[in-house]
Every structure is written in C-alpha cells, then in structure tokens.
Amino acid sequence: MEYEFLKVEHLDGITILKISAPKSLNALNSTILKELGGFIGSLDDKTRVLIITGDGEKSFVAGADISEMTHLDEPQGFEFGKLGAQVFRAIETLPIPVIAAVNGFALGGGCELAMACDIRIASSKAKFGQPEVGLGIIPGFSGTYRLPKLIGQCYAKEMIYTGKVIRADEALRIGLINAVYEPEELMDKAKEMAAMMLKNAPVAISLAKQSINEGYDLDADGAIGLENKLFGKCFATADQKEGMDAFLNKRKADFKGE
C-alpha cells in the first residue's frame, strides 16, 4: 500500500515505520493520523515486532500540526483529538511489541505517540515535552492519561503545566524512556532489542502484554486473576509445549506463534 507520509520497511519479523513529513518536522495532521491508523489496521502476523521512528535526523514527531489546529472550533477540536487518541490506542493495544526509536524532537503529539508504544529508546539528541498549554490547549492525544502513569503525577504535572522540554538524559532519569544511545546507534539498538523479542514465544509475549495493559487499571485481585487466566491460556498453545520441550532437551526452541 502506498502512503503519502509513511515509509515502511519489512525485515524478517520486524517492521520499521517512519513518519515522514520533513517540511513540518513530521508533525501530525489528520491525513497522517488516518494513514497511521490504516497502517496499524493492515498489519498481519508476519510482523512480530514494530519499530516506529521519525524520518530525518531532527525529529521523531514535533507535535500535532498547528497550521491545521489553528482553524478548528470546539466540535472539530474534539474530533481531531478523538482521531489521535483512537490511533494511539490502536498502537497501544496491538498484540505485538512496539518500540519507539525516538531520533529527535518528541513534542506534544510526538511524545504522546512514543508513550503509546511499549518501549521507548532515544537518541542522545532527542527532546521530549508536552508544551500544549503554551498554545492555549491541553495534551489531546491521551497525554494527560499516559504521562502520569509512566512518570507519576508530580513529574507529569510539572511537564504539562510548565510546558518545558527535557533532554533524553532527563527523560531517562524520570522513567519516561528505557535507554539513550548515540544517534548513529539508535536504529541498530532498536533492531537488536526486536531481535531478542523474536527469539521468544509470540503468543506468550502477546498474552504478557495483554496482562500488563489490562491489569494496570484493575485492583490487585482483579489484575492477579487476569494474570492467572492468561497464564493458564499459555498451556493450550503449541509454543508452550515447544518451549518446555526445547528447554528439557537442551535445544533451541522453534516457535510458530501457535
């Protein structure tokens, strides 16, 4: 499928998605969001890990497209926010791991896109922020929901109320990202992490992701009960039989995702 603002590369089990709108530093307009939603909906089981990054050296995603937002009224603003939130929720609930390789500016909608991914690694030149209040708006693509969950309310409120932009080392310190690498290393490190995931049972990873995501908002009994259910479900898979047999017979497992 052809996209105007997305570049897609398929490797062995890994798909790399680049947001590509260089004139706006990859800022998200409604067309890009719709393309992104269509792409997410089109992924098949050949993709076992998705890596999302930005095209170019300066920006992951510099935010939502202000030139489009400036003309919106209240109902249109609601619909634009809803579109972004729905697309990012679709990314968050994909049954495969999603790695954000943040190569530059991740501001506003860019920070929110990264937060919708399972894991965030960043270039040492990356910068993060939710500067929306300086434009008279609030984070609109689920930033007020995800940021406190990732870094706690104190840091999240400080970032959102001040609109300050932080460097990658500060983002690492407060738990917003997993690791920082030199720019020339970033994509290789993302691929290395993806390759480690490919060695493991796809069904187990999917069920682990479901348990983490769905259990997070439950009370302890509910979350543990969900984990018990999904743990039991593993034993109905061929991957579990293969993994344990490989371990007992000291051989490499050959997982089929079944």
The CATH number of the domain holding residue 238 is 1.10.12.10
If asked whether residues 220 and 193 sit together in one domain, one would say no
If asked whether residues 194 and 209 sit together in one domain, one would say no
Within a domain: 253: no
Q: Which of 2, 68, 112, 184 is catalytic?
A: 112
Within a domain: 26: yes
If asked whether residues 132 and 58 sit together in one domain, one would say yes
Using 50 as the pLDDT threshold, list the residues of the chain that sit under it: none
Within a domain: 254: no
Task: Say what the pTM is.
Answer: 0.96
Predicted local distance difference test score (pLDDT) of residue 1: 76
Q: What is 135-151 written as a DSSP string?
A: GT----SSHHHHHHHHH
Within a domain: 256: no
If asked whether residues 210 and 141 sit together in one domain, one would say no
Within a domain: 216: yes
If asked whether residues 220 and 164 sit together in one domain, one would say no
If asked whether residues 59 and 15 sit together in one domain, one would say yes
Q: What is 158-214 written as a DSSP string?
A: HHHHH--EEEHHHHHHTTS-SEEE-GGGHHHHHHHHHHHHHTS-HHHHHHHHHHHHH
Q: Does residue 132 have an active-site annotation? A: yes
If asked whether residues 213 and 139 sit together in one domain, one would say no
**Nearest-5° Cα angle at 124, 118 to 129:** 60
Predicted local distance difference test score (pLDDT) of residue 185: 98
Q: Does residue 192 have an active-site annotation? A: no
If asked whether residues 113 and 91 sit together in one domain, one would say yes
H-state helical runs in the chain: 30-42, 66-69, 74-92, 109-116, 143-151, 153-162, 168-173, 186-198, 202-215, 220-234, 238-248
Radius of gyration of the chain (CA): 19
Q: Please tell me the total count of domains within the chain.
A: 2
If asked whether residues 191 and 235 sit together in one domain, one would say no
If asked whether residues 171 and 209 sit together in one domain, one would say no
Q: Which of 132, 170, 185, 227 is catalytic?
A: 132
Within a domain: 171: yes
Range of 231's domain?
A: 202-248
- CATH code: domain of residue 17: 3.90.226.10
Listed residues 183, 198, 213: the one ending a domain: 198
